[in-house]
Amino acid sequence: MLRLSWSTFRERWQLFIGATLTVCLGVALVQSSLLILVSAAVGGYVEAIALLGITLGISAFLAVFIVSSTFAFTVAQRRRDLALLRLTGAARGQVRRLLLSEATLLGLLGTALGVPLGLLVMRAQSWLLRDLGFVPAEFAPRWQGWILAVSAGIGLGVAVSGVLAASRRAAKVRPLEALRDTGEAARVMTGLRWFFGILFLAGSVSLVIVSSFAGPEGAIPLAVNAALTAAVALSALSPLVVPLIGRVFGVALRGSTLGGLAQANLWDGVRRSASTAAPLIVLVALLLGQSGTLLSIGEAGQVEQRRDLRGDLVVTAQGQTGAASVPGVDVAAPQLRLPVRTTTTTYEGDGEYETEADNVDALVVDPAAYARTHRAEPVAGSLTRLRGNTVAVTADSGFPLGTTVDARIGDRDVPLRVVAVLPMTFAGGSMLLPVDAVPAAVAARAPSETIVRLAPGADAGAVRGALGEFGEVRTLEEWIDQSASRQQQVSTGIMTVILGLAGLYALIAVVNAVVIAAAERRREFAVARMSGLTRGQVVRLALLESWAVAAIGLVLGGLAGAGTWVGIGAATERIAGQSTIVVPWTLLGVVVAGALLVVGATSVWTAWSATRARPVSLAGAAE
């Protein structure tokens, strides 16, 4: 069976090269993310670990999803070949073993190419993390010998699992139905499509609902998962949308010969259109869902700061300042930013316990001055008790009022008693410490912002000039805008790390699907030319079809991405008091234009290549 599989692979290499490429890229991306994640865990780079964990999950999902859809499409393109095998005496089990043998060969070949490619991808990802500041400049991931076994398992696993469902369906189809393209062979919306479409759609709705009740830290991973599940659901149900898009397409190009033919091809090639649109749906859903979530969270943080802060000027410096002594200053509330490592111990009975460490951002404040420059009131406890080894935490921290937080401040371990619980916030700073809980040497090195309220009748210009000797002085509005700009840069970095190479993988999968679709249409194009169409008209026909398929992917991907904004809008309204849904219009325009350009250019190139030979020789060739 392996010999027959290898012969088929050599004969139909144009059809199999796309599947091999998707396995290769999937292995490279997962291998790279896993190696960097292990190295980051050894170094204790918490932010990088969190980002790489999400990146690894998305990479694994894309590998399985794209390889599965590519293999399913490849098998569907060969249903006539498989039907002829059945007619010549092959049993259903032999057809399945043939396809599984081909998947094994493709998995081995993809793994062999993906392992060295993964080293290049690892360098690119490491450079990206260093450039964005998530790891230090000296960070260099180490090669692990066991990764070869993991990569082989990934390559073979996704290849074989990707072809399992397609091989089962191909073996069940009656040979004559496959040859005539009738009955079960012609049905695109199979039971599995309905099952997974409805299942993942329900999962996406559930995640959106959960995200509306989540805290700030849970919003991003929930949004990503909601976008992924929605993309899978709409990809499975996309054959229902293809005829609708075809009808709209026909109305828009009414009276055009090429438009009518393109509409007919969409109706006839529903499976081809749905398979081509699937990776584009995932790409658009991820980009729009992730960017919309980050932008909305950033906007919610600005809304919170404008609503909560009471001040006129902000002094940015190192350590505490003497701003309170400047004439014309009514209140000066310094807040020092300090990373604190907390340790949570959970006892599981029988003397066993589990310890979990976490790095949090703390603000070191003077409680009295803080209360005079902030409107937000604690939901439990009181800030007046914030002195000594005490702490105020946000409601989503997991530390109830009265419990003790084991924290490491500087180079000493300190037990901190929770005396106040603050509302959840998108503006940053999940813990408040009193000044006397932090060693003076540590506080002197910490960056600080001092919120200044002017006394009635004070000369703002004179006070601002006097405060300049302590550090950089801005108005409160300018400082909020600068914080938003800094947060936007961080959000862009997060999205780049999570979706940079994964998005490129999805884009390559889109191109690959277009190439596979065109590889099996040489005879169809030849018949169209013999019917009177010129070569240029056939190429323009393929371009119109590809743009219609791209429109399907863009619409469904946009719906999947926009669905996550519902949950984010509800979460920001609950936490920030105002629903802040930010639509990334610029990115949306770039995605639409880029998708049409890439899909269109690929379609033109493949159609031009497919029509290079004389139509008579192709039309009369055996299929």
Q: What is the pTM of this model?
A: 0.77
- Secondary structure (3-state) at 147: helix
Q: What angle do CA 338, 339, 342 make, to 5 degrees?
A: 130
> pLDDT digit string (tens) for 342-400?
877 665 555 556 666 677 788 888 888 888 898 888 888 888 898 888 999 888 777 88
Is the pLDDT assigned to residue 172 strictly greater than 50?
A: yes
Q: What's residue 183's pLDDT?
A: 45
* Class of residue 425 by CB neighbours under 10 A (exposed 0-12, middle 13-18, buried 19+): buried
What does the mean pLDDT of the chain come to?
A: 79
Mean pLDDT on 402-417: 85
> pLDDT digit string (tens) for 95-148?
777 777 877 888 888 899 989 998 898 888 888 888 877 788 888 888 888 888
Q: What's residue 82's pLDDT?
A: 66
Q: What's residue 573's pLDDT?
A: 80
Tokens (6 digits) for 116: 């060295």
- Closest residue by Cα to residue 449 from 497, 483, 417, 412: 483
Question: Looking at residue 614, what DSSP letter applies?
Answer: -
Under 8 Å CB-to-CB from 310, ≥6 apart: which residues?
372, 373, 374, 375, 451, 453
Separation of alpha carbons 101 and 324, rounded Å? 77
User: In which band, very low, low, confident or very high, does the pLDDT at 90 lie, cut at 50, 70 and 90?
Assistant: low
Is the pLDDT assigned to residue 241 strictly greater than 60?
A: yes
Contact, 392 vs 432, CB < 8 A?
Answer: yes
Contact, 449 vs 315, CB < 8 A?
Answer: yes
Is the pLDDT assigned to residue 72 strictly greater than 70?
A: yes
List b or e across 478-492, with b for residues whose CB sees 16 or more CB atoms inside 10 angstroms: ebbeebeeebeeebe
Mean pLDDT on 558-570: 83
The number of beta carbons lying within 10 Å of the beta carbon of residue 508 is 17
Q: What percent of the chain has pLDDT over 90?
A: 1
Under 8 Å CB-to-CB from 141, ≥6 apart: which residues?
35, 36, 38, 39, 40, 122, 126
Separation of alpha carbons 330 and 418, rounded Å? 30
Is the pLDDT assigned to residue 185 strictly greater than 50?
A: no
Is the pLDDT assigned to residue 623 strictly greater than 60?
A: no
